[in-house]
Structure 1
Amino acid sequence: MRTGVTRCEISAVPLMWAKCKRTMRGAPLRAFTLVELLVVIAIIGGLVALLLPAVQSAREASRRTACQNHLRQIGLALQGYADGRDALPIGCEGCGSFPAGKLTSWNTRLLPHLERHSLADAYDDTLPAKDVANRAVAIVVEEFLCPSEPEPQQIEPTGSWRGCAYTDYGGVFGVEGVGAGSGSGIDEENFGVLVYDTPIQLADITDGLAHTLAVAEVLERRTADTVWTNGHNVFAQESTAPINAASVLGGDLGSPHPGGALGVFCDGHVQWLASETPQAQLNAWLTRAGGEVTP
């Protein structure tokens, strides 16, 4: 058994190190030149430029899918509300009077069907929506928000709706600026399904549940009128305004999704509404009894 290192082995160590140093000095060190470094940086920059749009597109596709799922939940909640009532919720309760009354929104009626029972129980129907007690109920509800919309999710802590959370989805009031009620008026055949102070019976949707929009994304977002407890979060589309195009009268259908917006129909199905949708087709979807023939 060896108990130590011999003198010969110890003396060999400096000789090996000297040989190693000679080898290292003899081998030239290779480094990048400035030109090579710039070429590598340019290649990496080009790859990033190519990949970034793809990454952003993938992220937007994911957000759009989540938005679609939120609207699907709203569609199921509308069906749950209509079950046994044969009617949709009132778009805005107390909006038809002046000064405006309670302003109870259609959203509040869907809370039990979205499994938001604690919020439904806390909301006081006897008080205006902007009462301090009901403002405390208006917290962020994920199903009412589009993930593609940046912060904030709640209104600034000022004004009569201070601290309340938004919705990015508006109830369809109808189509305005056409017929005898031109301007901001709406004729009977141009009304939608979530209107002021009147529950719309399913039997009154003569254009067909699958061909009539109930709720859709709105272009004008994150304002007091889009607080989810505020019944003013219904909209009427200007008769000549395409999807994702602001109009003179305002309150338009649109979204941050490139190329269109999402909407849920009265039968519960969610559909992508392309910006290139013909205006007549769009207006037909937004009315409940216009008599249009729609695909």
Structure 2
Amino acid sequence: MVSAPLPPSARARRTALAAAAVSVVLWASAFVSIRSAGSAYSPGALALGRLLAASLTLGCLLLVRREGLPPRAARPGIALSGLLWFGAYMVALNWGEREVDAGTAALVVNIGPVLIVLLGARFLGEAAPPRLVAGMAVSFAGAVAVGLSVSGGGRAPVLGVGLCLLAAAGYAGGVVAQKPALRHASALQVTGYGCLTGTVACLPFAGALVEEAGRAPLSATLNMVYLGVFPTALAFTTWAYALARTPAGRMGATTYAVPALVVLMSWPVLGEVPGALTLAGGALCLAGVAVSRSGPRTRTA
């Protein structure tokens, strides 16, 4: 017996979910690669090298697909997302991961979805019901627990957590700025020109990149190129594709799968396992998302 084909709306939702899953897996691997490449490259140089590799990849794709400049209506959102997400986010995250382990960084950065919901309600008109507010409170408590678990009474880990929170703010602002731009431009245009904006913003680190590339081991440089091609060029494009078809708040919540994947990846690769309080804080973050995404039960006839 042949099953009926899915309606176009259901196919679009599944395609968007698959695109988001690609982004989540690649972004999880990025936390591990940043820790590896960060031993040889400073935060700004690593961000610039990653963005240069991504811009070259995306530029080739734009030429092959013959996609020109984005419409004027999309340019403000592209520029803002490029500065916040491709620029500030990457530098802050690279710096933060020099102070805390990859799993902890992923857990702290994932306060970003809560910020996305807040900003989405303010600037995109997306709903913020009471359950969402309660979920944000639980997730914030989880972020505090993660911060306390790695502070150890010293300043450096506290600085790392603060930088990861700054990265989360850049990530959230970039997503919300990107959403309206996707109404006017393609996912590839929004990603490609946003990445180019971030690259230009990071050009002051060019001297450090050239100097450090001369003495960096090949493995660190290959990790930097991997970060540019896959977790940036590919993952940001699949994210933009899914974001164009999904509310920003719902998309942000999908990234709460990242910390668990990071822990699984960093354990064998980096030998890093977050402590019990870190895992408990991560569980609170996930519990907050579950509360925020739950809805009132409805009766069926």
Larger % of strand: which? 1
User: Please, what TM-score do these two structures have when normalized by structure 2?
Assistant: 0.30
Larger % of helix: which? 2
